[in-house]
A and B are shown apart, each in its own frame.
Chain A
C-alpha cells in the first residue's frame, strides 16, 4: 500500500488539476455568454433578409410563364448525384463529446449517401473536423484553364473538377472559427453557390450543433441548397441531448451563473419580423428579379453564418459542461484519496502502538 507521503503528493496534484479545470470552466462560461450574445445580435439581420426575400418572392415571378421552370438556379431541384456536406466542428478539444458527435453525425450522413450511390464532397470547418476528414479522404483536384483568344484581348477562365474518388475533401477553413467574420463566410458561400450553379454539386447540407440554450442543443443535418422554403430550417436528421447530458449541462450552467432559458425576444427582433412585410405596395428601386438575384447568395451566407455562431456557442457550452464534470470528478477523487490517506496513517499509528504495547508487555 502507498505511504502517506505519496498519497499527500497525489492529492496535491489532483487539487491543482481541479483548479485548472475550474478556471477553464469559468473561462468557457464567459466565452459562452459572449457567443450567445453575438448569436442573438445576428438574428435581426437574418430575419430581415429572409423577410425581404419572402416579400420579393410574393411579388416577382419566379416561374417562367411558358416553361414553368424556376428562374433562380438556387431554387432548382436536380437529382442528387453529387452532394456537398459542410461539417462545422470546433478548433480545440477538451469539450467532451462535442467534436466526436459532429464527426459521427457527418460520417453517418456520408455513409448513407454513399450507400445510395451518390458522390459526396466534404467541406470541413474547424480544425478538428479538418484533421479527421483529411485523414480519411483524399483532397479534390481542380484544374484552372485559361483560354486566350482575339489576340489575347479576351481571356476565358474555367475551373474543372477531376473526381478521382467518390468521397473527397473539397476545401477547408481552419482559421474561420478563430474570429467568425461575415466576410470569410461570404467568400465560402460564394464559392459554394458557384459550384452549385455550375452543377458540380446538386445539393448542399450543413452538419452543425444547433444551440437554443445550454440545455436545448442538438446535432443537426440541415439542407441548405436547393432552397425549398425560405426562412425555415430544413432538418433532415437530428441527434438530441440525452437526459444525462442535459443534467450535466444544467448543473454546469447553474454553477457558472448562466441562464438555461432560451433568451427572450428583444424589441428589435420583434420589429425585425415586420421588416418588409408592411401591408403596402412598395416601390422597388430596382426590378424585383434583380434584387432577388443579388439576395440569394447573401441568404446562403447568412444561413451559414448563423450556423457558425450557434456552433461556437455550443462548443463553449460543451467545454463548460466537460470542465464542470472534470472539476466534480477531481473533487470526488480528492475525497477518496483523503479517506485512503487517513486510513493508511491510522494503520501506521495503530501498528506503532501495538509495537510499543507488545514491547512493554515483553519486558
Chain B
C-alpha cells in the first residue's frame, strides 16, 4: 500500500477510535483541530505530534472525495506521507444528536458553575462545554 501512494502526493489518513478504525483513506490535505487551533497537513509535512481538541477533521481531495468528521480529544501524528488521528470520540456529522449535545452543553455550564476554585475542574468544565459546542456546530455544518 505504501508503494502505491509514496509518489502520488497523497496522504494516507487513518482515524482510529477506542472502538474501531473509523476511516482509512487518502487525501491531498487534512485539516486537524489541535488543542492550540486548526492546522492543515499536506503531503511531505514535517513530523508532528499534537494533542487533539474538539472540532472537525476535514479531508480534501483524495480518492474518496472530501470528508468531514467530528472528533474530540486525542492525539494526532503527522508524518510526511501519513496522518494518524487517535480520537476518543469520532462521529460523522450525520450521526450527531443535537439534542444530546445541548444537554451536554448545559451540563458543562453546570460543571463550570460548580467548579469553585479548583483549576482542574474548570479545565474539565471547559472541555465538556467546548466539545458540546463544536458538536452542535459540526452538526449544523457551521464549524469554524
Please measure, in the bound complex, the distance between the C-alpha atom of A290 and the C-alpha atom of B35, giving whole angstroms: 11
Partner of A285, one of B16, B35, B88: B35
- Residue A268 at the chain B interface, CB threshold 8 Å: yes
- Residue B95 at the chain A interface, CB threshold 8 Å: no
Interface string of B29-70 (1 = CB under 8 A from A): 000001110010000001111110000000000000000000
- With both chains docked as a complex, state the minimum distance between the C-beta of B125 and any C-beta of chain A, in angstroms: 13
Whether B18 and A268, one on each chain, are in contact in the complex, defined by CB atoms closer than 8 angstroms, is no
Instruction: Report A-chain residues with C-beta under 8 Å of the C-beta of B75.
Output: 48-49, 52, 291, 295
Instruction: Report A-chain residues with C-beta under 8 Å of the C-beta of B86.
Output: 45, 48-49, 52, 275
Interface size of B by CB at 8 A reads 31
Please measure, in the bound complex, the distance between the C-alpha atom of A287 and the C-alpha atom of B35, giving whole angstroms: 12
Partner of A282, one of B19, B21, B36, B48: B48
- With both chains docked as a complex, state the minimum distance between the C-beta of B115 and any C-beta of chain A, in angstroms: 8
- Residue A196 at the chain B interface, CB threshold 8 Å: no
Closest to B87 in A: A45
Please measure, in the bound complex, the distance between the C-alpha atom of A106 and the C-alpha atom of B88, giving whole angstroms: 31
Instruction: Report B-chain residues with C-beta under 8 Å of the C-beta of A298.
Output: 73, 88
Whether B14 and A268, one on each chain, are in contact in the complex, defined by CB atoms closer than 8 angstroms, is yes
Instruction: Report B-chain residues with C-beta under 8 Å of the C-beta of A280.
Output: 47, 79
Size range of the chain A interface in the assembly = 35 or more
Whether B49 and A48, one on each chain, are in contact in the complex, defined by CB atoms closer than 8 angstroms, is no
Q: Which 7 A-B pairs have the closest CB atoms?
A: A285-B50, A155-B116, A41-B20, A280-B47, A282-B49, A182-B18, A283-B48
- The A276-324 residues at the B interface (CB cut-off 8 A) are 276, 278, 280-286, 290-291, 294-295, 298, 302, 305
Instruction: Report B-chain residues with C-beta under 8 Å of the C-beta of A154.
Output: 116-117
- Residue B102 at the chain A interface, CB threshold 8 Å: no
Interface string of A318-340 (1 = CB under 8 A from B): 00000000000000000000000
- Residue B140 at the chain A interface, CB threshold 8 Å: no
Please measure, in the bound complex, the distance between the C-alpha atom of A156 and the C-alpha atom of B116, giving whole angstroms: 5
Interface of B, helix, strand, loop or mixed by DSSP = strand
- With A52-B86, A154-B116 already in contact, the answer to whether A275 and B19 are too (CB < 8 A) is no
Instruction: Report B-chain residues with C-beta under 8 Å of the C-beta of A45.
Output: 16-19, 86
- With both chains docked as a complex, state the minimum distance between the C-beta of B48 and any C-beta of chain A, in angstroms: 5
- Residue B118 at the chain A interface, CB threshold 8 Å: yes
Whether A275 and B77, one on each chain, are in contact in the complex, defined by CB atoms closer than 8 angstroms, is yes
Question: Which B residues form the contact surface with A (CB < 8 A)?
Answer: 1, 14, 16-21, 24, 34-36, 39, 46-51, 73, 75, 77, 79, 84, 86, 88, 114, 116-118, 121
Whether B18 and A42, one on each chain, are in contact in the complex, defined by CB atoms closer than 8 angstroms, is yes
Interface of A, helix, strand, loop or mixed by DSSP = helix
Closest to A298 in B: B88
Please measure, in the bound complex, the distance between the C-alpha atom of A156 and the C-alpha atom of B114, giving whole angstroms: 9
Whether B117 and A186, one on each chain, are in contact in the complex, defined by CB atoms closer than 8 angstroms, is no
Whether A285 and B117, one on each chain, are in contact in the complex, defined by CB atoms closer than 8 angstroms, is no
- Residue A38 at the chain B interface, CB threshold 8 Å: yes
Whether B79 and A278, one on each chain, are in contact in the complex, defined by CB atoms closer than 8 angstroms, is yes
- With A154-B116, A268-B14, A268-B24 already in contact, the answer to whether A48 and B47 are too (CB < 8 A) is no
- Residue A174 at the chain B interface, CB threshold 8 Å: no
Please measure, in the bound complex, the distance between the C-alpha atom of A45 and the C-alpha atom of B16, giving whole angstroms: 6
Instruction: Report A-chain residues with C-beta under 8 Å of the C-beta of B39.
Output: 285
- With both chains docked as a complex, state the minimum distance between the C-beta of B143 and any C-beta of chain A, in angstroms: 20
Instruction: Report B-chain residues with C-beta under 8 Å of the C-beta of A286.
Output: 35-36, 50-51
Closest to A147 in B: B116
Whether B21 and A44, one on each chain, are in contact in the complex, defined by CB atoms closer than 8 angstroms, is yes
Please measure, in the bound complex, the distance between the C-alpha atom of A312 and the C-alpha atom of B39, giving whole angstroms: 39
Closest to B12 in A: A271
Closest to B80 in A: A280
Interface string of A38-55 (1 = CB under 8 A from B): 100110111011001001
- With both chains docked as a complex, state the minimum distance between the C-beta of B56 and any C-beta of chain A, in angstroms: 17
- With both chains docked as a complex, state the minimum distance between the C-beta of B77 and any C-beta of chain A, in angstroms: 5
Instruction: Report B-chain residues with C-beta under 8 Å of the C-beta of A41.
Output: 19-21
Closest to B77 in A: A276
Whether A285 and B20, one on each chain, are in contact in the complex, defined by CB atoms closer than 8 angstroms, is no
Whether A294 and B16, one on each chain, are in contact in the complex, defined by CB atoms closer than 8 angstroms, is no
Partner of B51, one of A49, A276, A291: A291
Partner of B16, one of A44, A284, A290: A44
Whether A276 and B49, one on each chain, are in contact in the complex, defined by CB atoms closer than 8 angstroms, is yes
- With both chains docked as a complex, state the minimum distance between the C-beta of B81 and any C-beta of chain A, in angstroms: 11
A-B contact sample (10 more), CB < 8 A, given A41-B19, A154-B116: A44-B21, A45-B19, A48-B75, A186-B88, A268-B14, A268-B24, A271-B14, A275-B77, A283-B48, A298-B88
